[in-house]
Structure formats: structure tokens, C-alpha cells
Copies of this chain bind each other. A is one copy, B any other.
């Protein structure tokens, strides 16, 4: 078992060798430090990865937004929004973390280790973003773009990330895993042809999400996407 220092050193070396990216040691430590670890060594919570994740998420959204804006000129803004949501979703980002071996670099407290927390998808997503924050602060936007070109954007190009997800079908399948369920998409009053549609999604008579779109179909897809994100957040926490 490597010491913490060795694990961070290994990651630093990997980022340099594989991506030609320099990340400052202290920032790299922070980007891999879970609050449980920071608590354990009696450090301030502000030294955990959370703030770097906040920054890294915004950098990620920006780089991916520009990439799909420029490279998918035929998509409208609704399609671009859904495409982006699909790209930066938890499942795909956590996959990149595992590929990079961030699960071997992340610093967790003993409690988290016992919970096999280091495999948790949400954690893997978080530290992918906090790593982006550390790269950004160490080496700027170009370095982040370079890194994303070799990971997320490479996956977009290869077609691994599907452009259009049918959220309604995905949601239906997920909900029906637990048995019979009543799913209703109820459009709100739609007065003007030019206005957007708003649709509420009720599952067993409980409002689970709402969506806005240029037509009924797109509003329903968005409502289903919102509901899926809620269910996913529930699972992650």
C-alpha cells in the first residue's frame, strides 16, 4: 500500500507523462482530499476538494459547451443542452476517473474507506471535476482543454457518448424496475402558439419534474430528464 504522498506523486507523474500537464502538488492534494480525510487529519474543511470541484465544474461546462457549439452546428439549443447534460453526467465522468486511476489517488477518512466509498460514482464524478479545477489553477484553460481533448471530448468524437438520449424511455424503464407505476405527462395551459410548452410529470400522482420546450415532445423529454436527475441524486446521497 502506497503512502498518501506516493499516491499523489504517482498521479502528478501520470498527468505529466500522459497528458503533458503540470499540476501543482498542493492543489493536486486538495483535489483528491475528501472531507472525511480532511476531518480525520484535523484540517479545515476548506482544504477538501469541494471548492475545486465547484470551479472545475464551471470550467468543464464551458469547454464542453464551446466544443459542441462549434462542432454540432445542426443542433438547436434544446438538443445542445440535452447533449451537454448527457456528456457531463455523473456516469460518464466517473468512468474517466476510474480510467485515470483516481480511485487509487483519492484521500478518504477511515469511515469512508469502510463504506467502500472510494468506488462510489458520485465521489468519482466529484474528483474528476476537482482535478479539472486543480489543472485550471495550475496551468490554465489550455491545459484543461488539452486534458479534456484526451478524455471527454475523445469520447464524444468516438461516438461513445450518444447525442440524443430518450429520457422518457429511460425513466420509464427505471421506474418500472420497482413494479407497476403510473406515469403522466400533463401539459400546462398553452395559450400562444409562439410560447414554449410547459409539462409537469407526475409519477403515482406525485410531481417529479417539469420541463419547458418548444413543443410538447421536447417539454416532456426535459421533464423526464429532471426526474431522472432527481432519482440519480437520491441514489448518490
Chain A positions within 8 Å of B, measured between CB atoms, are 35-36, 39, 45-46, 50-51, 53-55, 58-59, 61-62, 65-66, 69, 76-77, 80-81, 109, 111-112, 141, 194-196, 198, 206-208, 210, 212, 230, 233-234, 237
Q: Are A234's CB and B198's CB within 8 A?
A: yes
Residues of A contacting B: mostly:
helix
CA distance A194 to B120 in the complex (A): 15
Q: Are B196's CB and A237's CB within 8 A?
A: yes
CA distance A194 to B195 in the complex (A): 45
Q: A55-B69, A195-B237, A198-B234 are in contact. Are A50 and B77 (CB under 8 A)?
A: yes
Residues of chain B within 8 A of A50, CB atoms compared: 76-77
Q: Which of A39, A58, A233 has the most CB of B within 10 A?
A: A58
Q: Are B194's CB and A36's CB within 8 A?
A: yes
Q: A69-B55, A81-B54 are in contact. Are A111 and B206 (CB under 8 A)?
A: no
